[in-house]
Amino acid sequence: MSIWSEPRALLPQEWPAFRAVLNRVFRPDGASDLIEDLPLLFLAPDGKPAFENSRIITGPGGAIAAHAGWTQRDAMVLRRRVRVGFIGAVFTEAASRRQGLGTRVLLDALARARAGADLVLASGDRDLYRRQGFEPVPPLARYRLPAPGDPPNVATRAMAPADIPAVAALFQREDVHFHRSPDDWAALLRAGRLVDAPATFTVVMPGGDASGAPVAFVATQNASVRADGSVRPRRILEIAGHREAILTAAPDLADELLVPAYDSASIGLATARGWFRTTRQFAVTAEPLTAVARLVPWYGLNYL
């Protein structure tokens, strides 16, 4: 008889132990709490734990040996709604590895993430995902931004909760984007993170008047020190709204601008400015499931 449970949902009484294991694996320095960093993966809209979305395998004594998180969100791709499944925070405890637990719990989460989905995305590029048919998402165009100055004809300020309706409207007008509910926007601001690092969320106003109505939104990962001691620069990973205003303000907000290939407006304006371009490959993998998933949405990809 196996000492391992079948993959199943996390139970309410296991939440404290689960949180401790999760942070020991993914946040060993104790600098933050992964559940607070990724609220849309682990929490329901009401802020309570989404137990069904955390799939686990337990061992002797009920100890959590392996986990795979999943969720689903809607996105718009060229004015067409698509359903996207997500896989994240997959781990097997060190003492329980090489017994197939990671694959078992991943398959259990994938069955749920794939149900009714057009596309599934996974956080990371691992053999574990490649064996299930996942491939890396296309790289982003990366522009090195010039030295900051006084942006002409625009003003910027930190996004506040009162800005959510205006920013959500800008976001919804993007041809390709993930859907964010008002609760999702509020969770994003509370978490103060984008993808895998602390972030700053900025609104841009025209005419140099910071009290005016926002015409653009910019999400910037803050500079941070990597595990190897190198410094990750400030980088803009998400934008919405008036592209000219965004690129005018960008040098004051970040060191780099990263945009997906489908954002031809931003690429055209950055190229016209003569900004130096390279590419950046993020460790995100994708499994298209239907013909609707012609491209992978980027803006709003912070659930993992």
What is the predicted pLDDT for the residue at 209?
79
Return the CATH number at 199.
Answer: 3.40.630.30
Beta pairing partners, 57: 66
Which range among 48-52, 102-106, 137-141, 208-212 shows the weakest confidence by mean pLDDT?
208-212
Q: Classify residue 120: in a domain, yes or no.
A: yes
Shared domain for 274 and 166, answered yes or no, is: yes
Mean pLDDT for the chain overall: 91
Is the pLDDT at 38 greater than 50, yes or no?
yes
- Same domain for 204 and 93: no
Q: What angle do CA 200, 201, 203 make, to 5 degrees?
A: 135
Is residue 295 in some structural domain? no
Domain assignment present for residue 50? The answer is: yes
Kindly state whether residues 118 and 14 are assigned to the same domain: yes
Query: Count of domains in the chain?
Result: 2
* Position 296 confidence tier, pLDDT thresholds 50, 70, 90: confident
Q: How confident is the model over 96-103, as a mean pLDDT?
A: 94
Give the model's confidence band at 3: pLDDT under 50 very low, under 70 low, under 90 confident, else very high.
very high
Range scoring the smallest mean pLDDT among 29-43, 95-109, 240-254, 272-286: 29-43
- In this predicted structure, the answer to whether residue 254 has a pLDDT above a threshold of 90 is yes
Same domain, 121 and 162: no
Both structure tokens of 26? 């993914």
Instruction: Give the end of a domain, one of 68, 103, 136.
Output: 136
Pairing between β-strand 119-123 and β-strand 80-92 as defined by DSSP bridges: parallel
Q: What is the pLDDT of residue 157?
A: 94
In a shared domain, residues 84 and 172:
no
Q: Is 110 within a domain?
A: yes
Structural domain harbouring 126: 8-136
Q: Greater confidence, 267 or 43? A: 267
Mean pLDDT for the stretch of residues 177-184 = 88
* 179 and 58 assigned to the same domain: no
DSSP the chain: --SSPPPEEPPGGGHHHHHHHHHHHH-TT-SS-HHHHSHHHHB-TTSSB-GGGEEEEE-GGG-EEEEEEEEEEEEEETTEEEEEEEEEEEEE-GGG-SSSHHHHHHHHHHHHHHTT-SEEEEES--HHHHTTT-EEPPPEEEEEPPPP---TTEEEEE--GGGHHHHHHHHHTSSEEE---HHHHHHHHHHTEETTEEEEEEEEEETT-TTS---EEEEEEPPEE-TTSPEEPPEEEEEEE-HHHHHHHHHHH-SEEEE-TT-HHHHHHHHHTT-EEEEE--SEEEEE-STT--S---TT----
